[in-house]
């Protein structure tokens, strides 16, 4: 990776955001644009991406929509090629896209499990590796982990495990790259987005006690990234949950999480 060999990156720099047509990704796009960043927006729904890009452009930034299905073995390479082929210089990579699979693991659909692994784990690892090559003497990475990654999650077992991977990977790479590339992990608890419906979580009580807005998550994540923080937990309630999980016996954490994830 070329480091420190080029000019200082342009401020405030262009952010590439995966999963930008809805939820936290769309809120992050608005947050980055509000701070003067150009944005590259990736998702499948063309109309939504186009509308968001148009709204952001009217605020004076350049917003480039890229319509792509990221659920493929070559998605990271295809996206990297598309971005570099268009001559877009990326200063900030936001690995936001992610999906969940809900229900007992023994009844799970293997195709949905593969999609979840590709989007939540393989894609951010590959994109981070590929875009680190582009950062010339700077650059930033913001990864969407989750509070789910801090515990075993019966009922959402593979989703929690995928986020444990993202949380661990991101913190470790942040340490490796300290002083060269700012890498920030954001760990929201439940957020009011399309996520639960997409995961088929209608029966779950997740989020019924405490949930956050995508706008609050985006604002807190952006501030943490710019401040060079390694881990951002964007609500007081979830910071308390984090502390409790650290001191509670693991068996208790497993059982409480099973109860929270199960039916209302
Ligand atoms: N919501 C929560 O409670 C919560 C909590 C903690 C962490 N997170 C994490 O935050 C991130 C964003 O979640 P969210 O809640 O904002 O989810 P969301 O509202 O469901 O949005 C997901 C985004 O990903 C895109 N997407 C899904 N599949 C795709 C594919 N195959 N190819 C390209 N784009 C795809 C969707 O757009 P298209 O359908 O247009 O492609 C959409 O823009 C995820 O990593 C999630 O794990 C969420």
- Report, as residue numbers or ranges, the catalytic residues: 159
Q: Ligand 1: does its nearest atom lie under 6 Å from the Cβ of 94?
A: no
Q: For a substitution probing ligand 1, which of 17, 42, 43, 212 has the most ligand atoms within 8 Å of its CB? A: 43
Closest CA to ligand 1's atom 46: 98
The alpha carbon of 134 and the centre of ligand 1 are apart by a number of angstroms equal to: 25
Instruction: Classify 163 as helix, strand or coil.
Output: helix
If one counts the domains in the chain, the total is: 1
Helix residue ranges, H only, the chain = 23-34, 46-57, 75-85, 110-117, 123-132, 157-176, 195-198, 214-226, 236-247, 250-261
Is 187 part of any domain? Answer: yes
Mean per-residue pLDDT, 69-93 = 97
Is 25 part of any domain? Answer: yes
pLDDT band for position 264 (cuts 50, 70, 90): low
Is 35 part of any domain? Answer: yes
**In this predicted structure, what is the pLDDT of residue 66?**
98
Whether 4 shows a pLDDT value over 50: the answer reads no
Is 4 part of any domain? Answer: no
Measure the CA–CA gap between 25 and 79, rounded to whole angstroms.
17
Q: Which atom of ligand 1 is nearest to the CA of 69?
A: 32
Note the pLDDT tens digit of each residue in 105-132.
Answer: 999 999 999 999 999 999 999 999 999 9
Is 2 part of any domain? Answer: no
Is 5 part of any domain? Answer: no
The alpha carbon of 198 and the centre of ligand 1 are apart by a number of angstroms equal to: 9
Measure the CA–CA gap between 183 and 172, rounded to whole angstroms.
9
Is 0.85 surpassed by the pTM of this model?
yes
The alpha carbon of 16 and the centre of ligand 1 are apart by a number of angstroms equal to: 15
Which residue, among 71, 88, 68, has the nearest Cα to 79 in the 3D structure? 68
The DSSP call for residue 70 is: -
State the residue range of the domain holding 192: 15-261
Is 9 part of any domain? Answer: no
Instruction: Look up tokens 């949950």; give the residue.
Output: 241
Query: What mean pLDDT value characterizes the chain?
Result: 94
Instruction: Look up tokens 């981070």; give the residue.
Output: 128
The CATH number given to whatever domain includes residue 218 is 3.40.50.720
Is 1 part of any domain? Answer: no
């Amino acid at each position: 990776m070329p480091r420190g060999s080029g000019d200082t990156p342009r401020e405030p720099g262009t952010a590439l955001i995966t999963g930008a047509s809805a939820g936290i990704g769309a809120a992050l796009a608005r947050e980055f644009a509000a701070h003067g960043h150009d944005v590259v927006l990736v998702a499948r729904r063309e109309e939504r991406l186009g509308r968001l890009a148009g709204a952001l452009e009217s605020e004076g930034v350049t917003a480039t929509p890229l319509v792509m299905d990221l659920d493929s073995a070559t998605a990271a390479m295809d996206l990297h090629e598309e971005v570099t082929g268009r001559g877009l210089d990326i200063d900030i990579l936001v690995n936001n896209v992610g999906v969940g699979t809900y229900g007992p693991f023994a009844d799970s659909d293997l195709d949905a499990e593969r999609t979840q692994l590709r989007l939540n784990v393989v894609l951010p690892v590959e994109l981070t590796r590929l875009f680190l090559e582009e950062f010339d003497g700077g650059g930033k990475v913001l990864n969407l982990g989750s509070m789910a990654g801090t515990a075993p999650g019966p009922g959402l077992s593979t989703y929690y495990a995928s986020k444990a991977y993202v949380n661990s990977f991101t913190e470790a790479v942040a340490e490796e790259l300290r002083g060269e590339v700012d890498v920030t992990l954001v760990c929201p608890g439940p957020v009011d987005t399309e996520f639960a419906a997409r995961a088929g979580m209608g029966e779950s009580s997740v989020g019924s006690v405490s949930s956050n807005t995508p706008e609050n998550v985006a604002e807190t994540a952006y501030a943490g990234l710019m401040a060079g923080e390694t881990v951002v937990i964007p609500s007081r309630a979830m910071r308390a949950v984090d502390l409790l999980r650290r001191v509670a016996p693991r068996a208790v954490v497993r059982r409480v999480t099973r109860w929270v994830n199960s039916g209302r």
